Amino acid sequence: MRSPDAPVVGMAATPDGGGYWLVAADGGIFTFGDAAFHGSAGALQLNRPIVGMAATPDGGGYWLVAADGGIFTFGDAAFHGSAGGTGNGVPAVAVAATPDGGGYWLAFGAPLPLLGKIVGIDPGHNGQNYAAPQFIDQPVWNGRAAEACDTTGTAADSGYSEAQFNFNVAIDLQADLGAEGAQVVLTRPDNAGVGPCVTTRASIIDNARADVAVDIHADGGPPAGRGFTVLEPVADGTNNAVIEPSALFATMVRNALEAGTGMPTSTYDGVNGLQPRSDLAGLNLTTVPKVLIECGNMRNATDAALLVSPVFQQAAATALAQAVTAYLTAQAAPAS
C-alpha cells in the first residue's frame, strides 16, 4: 500500500530526454513525458526503504535499490546480483547502470552507528489504565517492597495525559534509534491498552538483553516547580552490575536534555537533574543499564505547555537518541 507522504528518493531520465521517472521511498513510481510505467515496488512489503533507481539504456525498464542493498527489476532490466541480506549494516544510497545495461554499481553510505544494539524503551503507564483499577492496583514486588502494578500517571490541567506524552516520545525515539540501526524493544505497542505491570515492563527489557534502556515519564510535581529529573538505580543485589553504567548514562541523558530541549533541570527534585531512587521496580529489577526520566512537570503551566507540544516531544526524543548513541558508541571503544 502506497503511503501518500513517502518522500521521492530518486529519478532517472528516458534515453531521449523526453521524460523521466521518480521513485518514492516506499517503491512507488511516478512517470512523466515519454517515460513508460514498467511496474513498481509500491505494493510490496519492503524490509528497508527504496533509496535510488536507474533506467535501462533503451528505457524499457529500471532497477530500484533498497537501503539494505536489495535490487528490484522491472521491464527489461536484468538481475545482475544484489547486496541484499549481507547484513553489513552499511546502507546503500544509490544505484547507477553501466552504459550497455549489462551491470550496475551500488553506492554505500556511512555505517549505522547502532547496528546490532538493542535499546529498551518503556513509555510509562497506558491510555486505559484509569478504566482498570482492579488490574493496576494489584500489588507487585518491586525488589524491595510492594507497590501497585501500575498507576494512571498524571495529566496537564488541560487533561492531556502523561501516558500519551510518554508514548509519543517513545515512538519518536524508536524512529530515531531505528534510523541509526538499533533494534528497539517497547514495553507496550500503543496507548490504547492497560498495563503491563511495572514488574513486567522491567522483565521485558531484561529478557531482551537490551544494551541500554529508558523509562519515559513526566512528573506530577508541585505546581510552582519546574524541570526534568533523571532517576537512576540504587544497588539492591539484582541491579548491582548496572549501577555504574546507569550513572554514566544518566549524566549523558541529563546533558542531552539540558542542551537539546529548553527544559531546565528540576527546581524541586534531585541535584542538577539527577536523583537516585530505590523505590521503583523499573530501576530495582533492571539487569541492563537504565534510567527513568521525568521529562518535566505536567502540573506546572510552563512545563505543561512544552510537554504537550509535538515539537518538544520530538526534541526530547532526539536528545535521548543522542544520549543513547553517545553511551553505546563510547561503550564500543576499547577499554584503556
Residues 135-154 that bind Zn ion (CB under 5 A): 153
Kindly tell me which residue out of 61, 124, 195, 289 binds Zn ion, with binding defined by CB under 5 A: 124
217 or 254: CB nearest Zn ion: 217
Closest Cα to residue 124, out of 105, 95, 149? 149
- Min separation Cβ 124 and Zn ion, Å: 4
- Min separation Cβ 295 and Zn ion, Å: 10
Judge contact between 228 and 218, C-beta under 8 A.
no
* CA 7 to chain centroid: 19
Q: Tell me which stretch binds Zn ion (CB under 5 A): 57-65, 104-112, 122-130, 180-188.
A: 122-130
- Min separation Cβ 250 and Zn ion, Å: 17
108 or 130: CB nearest Zn ion: 130
Confirm or reject binding of residue 188 to Zn ion (CB under 5 A). no
Cβ contacts of 218 within 8 Å, gap of 6 or more? 153, 154, 162, 165, 166, 294, 295, 296, 297, 298, 307
- Min separation Cβ 217 and Zn ion, Å: 3
Give the span between the Cα atoms of 270 and 130, in whole angstroms: 29
Cell numbers of 17, please?
A: 530526454
- Min separation Cβ 233 and Zn ion, Å: 17
Per-residue contact track with Zn ion, 206 to 245, x per CB under 5 A?
A: -----------x----------------------------
- Give me the catalytic one of 147, 162, 232, 294: 294
Catalytic annotation on 162? no
Please report the beta strands in 71-172, taking only residues with DSSP state E, as ranges in sequence order.
Answer: 71-75, 92-97, 104-108, 118-123, 139-141, 146-148
| Count of other CB atoms within 10 angstroms of residue 264 | 15
Q: Tell me which stretch binds Zn ion (CB under 5 A): 116-124, 127-135, 236-244, 300-308.
A: 116-124
Per DSSP, helices labelled H in 25-141 are: 133-136
Q: Which residue minimizes CB distance to Zn ion?
A: 217
68 or 294: CB nearest Zn ion: 294
Burial of 238 (0-12, 13-18, 19+ CB in 10 A): middle
Identify the sign of the CA torsion 165, 167, 173, 176.
negative
Using CB under 5 A as the binding criterion, the count of chain residues that bind Zn ion stands at: 3
125 or 254: CB nearest Zn ion: 125
Give the span between the Cα atoms of 120 and 183, in whole angstroms: 9
217 or 299: CB nearest Zn ion: 217
Give the span between the Cα atoms of 244 and 248, in whole angstroms: 6
Cell numbers of 123, please?
A: 513509555
- Min separation Cβ 296 and Zn ion, Å: 12
Residues marked as catalytic: 294
| Contacting positions for Zn ion (CB under 5 A) | 124, 153, 217
